[in-house]
Chain A
């Protein structure tokens, strides 16, 4: 079993929809949780970074962490065609070791 599980999609939604992206993990040592956006042939770009359980909001993006269920989510409100990309979840333990999901490919249709 991989440390981090993420549904690869692809996910296709109409413009303006709410998008929900999810990851599960097995290692309770993970302390830091991140979401990255990766456009084709580019490096990942950090979107959200959270430390504890709960919600964190930044503009149209909300990151949610549930440590008891080992489950994290990213919600995108009012999705735009420019949000079309691959979204990667990532987790870090206290030893500077990062584990990424496989990424979910999202297409927002105008």
Chain B
């Protein structure tokens, strides 16, 4: 079956522009996670949804970052007024379970470059 898909795969933004990154999770997956992965680092947690509810947004680095999943399926991560330090790969992952199950499935990521 289809895995997690993300679009666009690559995004170049000028400093100060707003960007929107999309994630299509595996159909039926309840949980959805966003991560930020800097070059040479592991993924760092940004935010977590269970269906349409955003249960944890403690990893969002500033109020310029906003995520939504209005119908409990597709999710969008929006970054306003992008800065150079926002350059990273943004990974989305989904999981069938509600809690306590580590089997997340990752998308290929969106590589954001802010110039």
Contacts and interface: CB of A to CB of B under 8 A. Distances in A.
A62 interface: no
Contacts of A90: 42, 102
Given A95-B56, A96-B48, A100-B43, A43 B102 contact: no
B80 interface: no
B55 A46 contact: no
Interface in B97-112: 99-109, 111
Interface size class on chain B is 20 to 34
Contact of B55 (A31, A96, A100): A96
A98 B104 contact: yes
A94 B40 contact: no
B107 A43 contact: yes
Interface residues of A, number: 28
Interface in B15-42: 31, 33, 35, 40-42
Contacts of B107: 43
Given A8-B40, A43-B91, A88-B42, A94 B99 contact: yes
B74 to A, nearest CB: 17
A94 B106 contact: no
13 contacts: A31-B100, A43-B93, A46-B102, A46-B105, A49-B102, A92-B102, A96-B55, A96-B100, A98-B45, A98-B102, A100-B35, A103-B41, A103-B42
Interface of A: 4, 6, 8, 31-34, 36, 41-46, 49, 88, 90, 92, 94-103
